[in-house]
Amino acid sequence: MTDFKELVKLRRSHRQFDGNEIDADDLKTIIRAGLMSPTSKGQRGWHFIVVDDKEDINKLADAKDMGSQFLKGAPLAIVVLGDAMRNDCWVEDGSIAAISMQYQAEELGLGTCWIQMRGRGLGDGMDADSIIRGILGIPDNYSVLCVLAVGRKADERKPQNEDKLKWENVHINKF
């Protein structure tokens, strides 16, 4: 098991995956991390859709213009949703759940990448949110935050470079 100090250094975004499926126990452990993540007012109002259907994964990859085509090579997508009407912190809650799942996946040796969907879409004006709600049968009151691509890493990423950390962005007492 990697300690957290090492895990935060090792975690990088992975966009290439080998063809293998994700182990069912690993998937459960990843989702568990999302379900354990903190939420505003303890609402736990997020929903996660695990998609392993190849056709639907391909459709999700086509829901926006840029930065999502690599999803077509992933065995699994986790779609993170929130209820924007009932929860003014749905973006924060969903983001914390998503990164929690990403760190858990990293700890299991799996690769992930966040694919932004909120506020994104196609050049013709169709927004990714409506497209994805159509693909996955999501009720109107839920909004799509992001899709996590999850798979077995097939690209090599260097760990974070300690020498390049932006310590200058950290302020003590005043800006």
Ligand X SMILES: Cc1cc2nc3c(=O)[nH]c(=O)nc-3n(C[C@H](O)[C@H](O)[C@H](O)COP(=O)(O)O)c2cc1C
Residues interacting with ligand X, by CB under 6 A? 12-13, 15, 67-68, 113-116, 157
Which residue, chain included where needed, has tokens 């200058």?
168
Nearer to ligand X, 23 or 119 (CB): 119
Minimum CB distance to ligand X, residue 117 (Å):
8
d(CA 150, CA 28): 13
Nearer to ligand X, 31 or 99 (CB): 99
- Per the CB < 8 A criterion, the answer to whether 90 and 45 are in contact is yes
Minimum CB distance to ligand X, residue 173 (Å):
28
Q: Among 70, 90, 73, which Cα is nearest to 81's?
A: 90
Nearer to ligand X, 23 or 38 (CB): 38
**Largest Cα span, the chain:** 52
Minimum CB distance to ligand X, residue 122 (Å):
14
- Per the CB < 8 A criterion, the answer to whether 100 and 78 are in contact is no
Minimum CB distance to ligand X, residue 97 (Å):
13
